[in-house]
Amino acid sequence: MEGMSLPGPLELGSLTVDTPVVLAPMAGVTNAAFRRLCAEQGAGLYVCEMITSRGLVEGDQHTKDMLVFDEAETVRSVQLYGTDPVYVGKATEILCADYGVAHVDLNFGCPVPKVTRKGGGGALPYKRGLLGEILEHAVRAAEPYDVPVTMKTRKGIDDDHLTYMDAGRIAQESGAAAIALHGRTVAQAYSGTADWDAIAELKASVDIPVLGNGDIWEAADAIRMVEETGVDGVVIGRGCLGRPWLFRDLAAAFAGDSVKVLPTLGEVTDIMRRHAELLCDHMGEERGCKEIRKHIAWYLKGFGAGGELRRTLGLVNSLADLDKMLDQLDRNEPFPSSQLGAPRGRQGAPRDKVVLPEGWLDDADGRGCGFAENVAETSGG
């Protein structure tokens, strides 16, 4: 597919995403502050942290607290987790009617054991009938509001139980507006490399837009994925941790401009400070400063900041303290090229065995099994 032209805006039903780039929901990361920070860098679609359909339907306070949007967030996008078609349908309706959401994504890719143990996330597409029921309930609930429903999945449970080709067919038949594929199995979690050939195979088999996910660390990787697979857009997860300017590079690359200026430590510091400020605006200073701590480690990865300064930054509890510490950094230090193209965030090891409900693999249909989901599942995939 070499030399093929870059995709234009991503069309999800009636929603047009100018740059075909989607920020993947990540638990504890893609809150309103981080979404705004990424959106300030480049156009795209920025998805809220995953929430549970049961939590939303039952009015769980923690779930409601996660559904916070920034005033600059014009297109609200939420990822929903669920294993029961009725709950997922009701939750979709609540998102459309009460929260003004413009896009609902369904999570069928999460590899976390506490989720797969209940038949959720990346385990669910094995039950083809149940997958179809959940998608149909969500699409039907969103239809009166003209809100597109998409799904995100993985290749399958493991190499012996691949589900992505069936999932694509079912997504299309159910009226989903697009399907995103992370080119790993649940067993791989975040280890190894993503299988872009599987993404290309899925793209060739369906008529709805296909988004590719996995191992996009730089804008050039996104362009290479498009050229190798023909996808309609890309989903960015761990690649943007501590690097929200990746969305600026992606917007430029999809506009056909390959100019890429690596930020100095001073520019990284300014973005980090902006991130902290947005977190404090949304959460209050004490909690906002606690939240920025994990991001500081990602922002400074590969830079020469000393151990003692890193340690005190990891304990920061006010913006004034943060400013004092950031002033000690060398603003002219160049970006560490060792970090380019390198995996970020968790990788972990592949799993010998995926935790599944008893007898899960005995029935590949699963219609009417309506597994009870936990109110508090939160993750990504």
Angle between helices 32-41 and 265-283 (to 10 degrees): 140
The structure tokens 């969103």 sit at: 142
Taking the C-alpha atoms of residue 306 and residue 63, their distance in angstroms, rounded to an integer, is 39
The one catalytic residue in 38, 96, 110, 240 is 110
369 is catalytic: no
Known binding-site residues for FMN equal 25-27, 79, 152, 182, 237-238
Amino acid of residue 326? L
Q: List, by residue number, the catalytic residues.
A: 110
